Amino acid sequence: MKILVCISNVPDTTTKIKLSADSKSVDTSGIQWVINPWDELALTRALELKETTGGAIEKVTVATVGTAEVEPTLRKALAIGADDAFRVDINPQDAYQVAAELTGLIKANPYDIILCGIESSDYNGSAVGGMLAELLGIASVSSVSSLSVVNGEVQLTREIDGGKETMVSSLPFTAIVQKGISLEPRIPSMRGIMTARAKPLQVVPSFGTESLTLISGFKLPAPKAACHIVDGENVKDLIRLLHEEAKVI
């Protein structure tokens, strides 16, 4: 079996977001870019599966859609342990375009298990995995919190409202993974960083797809008013404020 992990390149969570002068885009100067946290957990799980299933997983590939600027993130994924990488060379306009470009890539290079993080911490869209599965005409399972391969069969747990379900899926399929899929993201070792330089990273031209939506502008949220500190000796006052002023209880 072959696993593909779709990787998104996102600003580090601690990054302060600034807008361009015309508010049409985000000012990317000074942003520290990282692998989207959920994608990092997906990659970690893919590598664990490869190591623990006695040869059932022959290869773990990572792929991203973006310009040359996102390559350090792919190299980091190789350093963590992916075997090879693809970059589709286009600056995508929305999640649909990302999914459509990945579809072109996967049709030319089929995989049995495709892993996507449930959300990217930039546009918070939760959309690429499902769109990709639909465009490929394969099954998708969302909110996947555990994934194992037993005797060539994929077993899953998904988190549903108020509980969880154990499932199986036909192959190939897309798992949209969340917290729980692996405990801690793997950190590249020095040896990993050295060998990553020699691993194949193929740049593929765009498949000529189009987007369905565009971002017409950004706004920064209104600054929050200062916290109203209530005296710890007078907790009743807090409840009164929540009732009379905030009107939330």
Judged by CB under 8 A, the chain residues 104 through 133 that form the site for other proteins are: 118, 121-133
Q: Does 98 bind other proteins (CB under 8 A)?
A: no
CB atoms within 10 A of CB 245: 9
Stretch that binds other proteins, among 61-69, 80-88, 153-161, 196-204 (CB under 8 A): 153-161
In contact, 74 and 7? CB cutoff 8 Å: yes
At CB < 8 A and 24+ separation, what contacts does 15-20 make? 17/220, 19/218, 19/220
Residues in region 1-30 near other proteins by CB under 8 A: 11, 13-17, 19, 26
Whole-number CA gyration radius for the chain: 21
CB atoms within 10 A of CB 181: 23
The one-letter code for the residue type at 1 is M
**Count of alpha carbons within 13 angstroms of residue 120, beta-carbon side:** 20
CA-to-CA distance for 98 and 10, rounded, in angstroms?
A: 14
Select from 56, 194, 203, 238 the one that contacts other proteins (CB under 8 A).
Answer: 238
Identify which of residues 191 and 236 has a Cβ nearer to other proteins in the complex: 236
Identify which of residues 59 and 123 has a Cβ nearer to other proteins in the complex: 123
Select from 91, 107, 165, 203 the one that contacts other proteins (CB under 8 A).
Answer: 165
Q: Does 151 bind other proteins (CB under 8 A)?
A: no
Identify which of residues 138 and 204 has a Cβ nearer to other proteins in the complex: 138
The one-letter code for the residue type at 153 is E
User: CA distances (Å), 145 to each of 123, 130, 190, 211, 218, in order?
Assistant: 22, 16, 29, 30, 33
Alpha carbon 78 to its chain's center? 16
Residues in region 33-52 near other proteins by CB under 8 A: 37-38, 41
Identify which of residues 191 and 219 has a Cβ nearer to other proteins in the complex: 219
Select from 8, 142, 182, 209 the one that contacts other proteins (CB under 8 A).
Answer: 142
Q: Does 228 bind other proteins (CB under 8 A)?
A: yes
Q: Does 95 bind other proteins (CB under 8 A)?
A: yes
Residues in region 45-84 near other proteins by CB under 8 A: none
Q: Does 177 bind other proteins (CB under 8 A)?
A: no
In contact, 118 and 176? CB cutoff 8 Å: yes
Identify which of residues 169 and 196 has a Cβ nearer to other proteins in the complex: 169
Q: Does 204 bind other proteins (CB under 8 A)?
A: no
